[in-house]
Amino acid sequence: MSFCLRLFAALVALVAASAPTLAQERRLPNSLAEVKLSYAPVVQRVAPAVVNVYAAKTVQNRNPLLDDPIFRRFFGGPGGMPQQQQRSLGSGVLVDPSGLIVTNNHVIEGADEVKVSLADKREFEAELVLKDSRTDLAILRIKGARERFPALEFGNSDELQVGDVVLAIGNPFGVGQTVTHGIVSALARTQVGITDYQFFIQTDAAINPGNSGGALVDLSGKLAGINTAIFSRSGGSQGVGFAIPANMVRVVVASAKGGGSAVQRPWLGAKLQAVTADIADSMGLKRPAGALVANLTAQSPAARAGLKSGDLIVTVDGQPVDDPNAFDYRFATKPLGGTAQLGVLRAGKEIKVAVALQIAPEGQRDEIVLRSRSPLQGAKVANIGPALAEQMRVDPAMEGVVILEVPSGSAAAQYGFQPGDMLLAVNNEKIAKTEDIDRLTKAGGRVWRFTILRGGQQITAMFSG
């Protein structure tokens, strides 16, 4: 046999030997059950617990001519101002058979009327039970509920892994309940900039406008997260969606079930900062990770536990902490009472520190509404205390007064003041208590100079008139 024939025979034998392997990689289904592999059983179980949320609020179309008293006299006062009803659309998830629904706060913010539509097309009016702007979550209750509703069970979002298959269920663009599927693309996203608690599940399951407040579920049918936002250059899904982890949602729902008007979370009482590459080098770390203790509030849980400035928090109850946002999430999802074990690097050695899980004390808030004629007229202000500082995300170690509310149409709103602004001085006089700002605004003046702290930056504003 020639060499060519021997080579050909060898190739035929090689192909024949590999044929079973090739057939195993590309094969027809062996049974009808394999042909019918589907997510339908999961969808059928969870879809009845996902609702559409319709929120409406009435706004007045302000006509500047009505500021003229003569024009207003002949053409109608405030009662005759044209009104317009604005509507927003979102999704929600039934989390308790009694009719308790979780959705996004931005879906129902400022609404005068909220309705929910169930998967079976029935509509109900809903009332607001609790809202938490820090997590962008709100809890609704179906009014006059006289039945038991289908509800989703919470999963443990800390057990999710990148690559897990998830389903997103909601009402995109108002077309009706829609199911999309994808995977967990990333976990612990902390640089998204949506809420105070930056710790999101990222998924490539298609999420679009109207999906906000809807369910992200795992293949066991448990709630993995609440779909909240997308990253998009077009306004539609581009495969980058974000969901609030179920373990954070569970905390807000528990507060609502407990009858609270606000979510109560553990208070650390320390200011944390991120670890930069330079800080990591100076501490001998292999990589920049952890939450660095910058300073502590006296008599806080952190101070009483023995934490010190310069300590680096690397774990909470064994869970890794990559940055301050990750710490905030880990700590905020701990139940009140008992302690949390913090893994801390101090002088190159890791130690364990037990921190009490308790809420921040209120202090003397002394809330007042400023009614004297000034650029701050109409604003509600309060003294800074531990609880308020935690709520408003300002430094409790600072002395000053914080703006709680700025009503629309008030002088304070027209001059650009915002909730969360910290008033440090008026006309170069230091502000320590609400009584100081009340006294100074009552004194009046033609020129006003305000020193405020906004978003960590100190600003000086000058007004006249």
Q: How many CA atoms lie within 13 A of 375 on its CB side?
A: 19
Tokens of 107: 């879906």
Known catalytic residue: 91?
no
Choosing from 157, 212, 374, 410, the catalytic residue is 212
Locus of tokens 């609270």: 260
Q: Which of 371, 396, 387 is nearest to 453 (CA)?
A: 396
The verdict on whether 158 is a catalytic residue reads: no
Q: Is 181 a catalytic residue?
A: no
DSSP-derived secondary structure for 217-232 = EETTS-EEEEEEEE--
Task: Select which of 88, 106, 157, 410 is catalytic.
Answer: 106
CA distances from 75 to 25, 59, 83, 84 (A): 80, 20, 15, 19
Amino acid at 21: T
Q: How far is Cα 111 from Cα 363, in angstroms, rounded to an integer?
A: 32
Rounded to whole angstroms, what are the CA distances from 166 to 39, 182, 202, 232, 248?
A: 10, 6, 11, 20, 18
HSE-CB of 182 using CA atoms within 13 angstroms: 21
Q: State the Cα–Cα distance between residues 74 and 58, nearest whole angstrom.
A: 25
Q: Which of 132, 136, 204, 328 is catalytic?
A: 136
CB within 8 Å of 197: residues ≥ 6 apart: 134, 135, 244, 248, 325, 328, 329, 332
Residues marked as catalytic: 106, 136, 212
